[in-house]
Amino acid sequence: MGFDNLIGGSIWDEYSNKVQERMNSPKFMGELTEEDAKKAGAKLVVADFGAESCGDAVRLYWLVDEKSDKIIDARFKSFGCGTAIASSDVMAELTIGKTVDEAVKITNLDVEFALRDNPETPAVPPQKMHCSVMAYDVIKKAAAQYKGVDMKSFEDEIIVCECARVSLGTIKEVIEINDLKTVEEITDYTKAGAFCKSCIKPGGHEEREYYLVDILKEVREEMERKKTKAAADSAAGVGEEVAFKEMTLVQKLKKVEEVLDENIRQMLIMDGGNLEVIDIKENGENIDIYIRYLGACSGCASSSTGTLYAIESVLKEKLDSNIRVLPI
């Protein structure tokens, strides 16, 4: 009886062809040395990261051009399962050609998505998503070493679901904004709890500080308190609209999308283009909105002149005069 018959021929169905190819023939496995760095005129960065939940570990090597902070080469060594090898291989490849700051923005979801055979089908079974999380974490470790900062400085929020990189603040806001009542609804909206499931409730493969069941209960109780207070305030004639600058990140994103849908997006679509909002950050007095052009807009000369001016002007008029729109 062959191996495939022993396992019913089904185990590989949960892994994409790309994962299986990278497991067996990784393209970037190896190491870089000080001699390699000297030849390239670059700085060698070596970072190690291990996953306590499974015992896997990965070592990442970068050659970084210190003048531009660009990663000119990357290699890895992985001590663990085949999925960890595949995830680390893609992770190393994704960082090449990027600056260190750009590399830090690569998430485990980017790694997993790059391993998919098609956009709709996950590359690995849910319980193996932690391998791509480890790849994401070692990038932060390498960036922290290069910059001489603490690795935690790249995380400005408490992450509840490591697999999908969903923060505590996002989960709370999504529950409240969409009036969610079940953990299943939280997963549908945010993907939190969709993979290894250890963040749903105590007793999973990895102990967590926050669990979705507790967060849901806490937020629902707070919503009831707010509802009671709002009713009392309404009866007393109290209440005013929150300024854009004072909104939470999720509220800002929702407000920006509303303005774009009402005033900008349809015109872009008519010309074969579109845009997506990537991030919103406060920078001193300014509120920087990072966007990415899609379709015809990505190659249009007007995307950095007239179109950009129109987008920024509308958002300034409708939301806040200190808004700056920055295409990436």
The three-state (H, E, C) secondary structure of 237-253, written as one string = CCCCCCCHHHCCHHHHH
- In 3-state terms, what secondary structure has residue 299? helix
The verdict on whether 161 is a catalytic residue reads: no
The verdict on whether 81 is a catalytic residue reads: no
Which of the 8 DSSP states describes residue 179? Answer: T
Confirm if 81 and 56 have CB atoms less than 8 A apart.
yes
Angle at 280 between CA 276 and CA 283, to 5 degrees: 140
Which of the 8 DSSP states describes residue 198? Answer: T
Q: What are φ and ψ of residue 29, in 5° steps?
A: -75, 135
CA distances, 3 to each of 11, 16, 20, 79, 289 (Å): 11, 19, 16, 24, 53
Please identify which of the residues 81, 131, 196, 199 carries the catalytic annotation.
131
Sort 321 into a burial class: Cβ within 10 Å, 0-12 / 13-18 / 19+.
exposed
Which residues are known catalytic residues? 54, 131
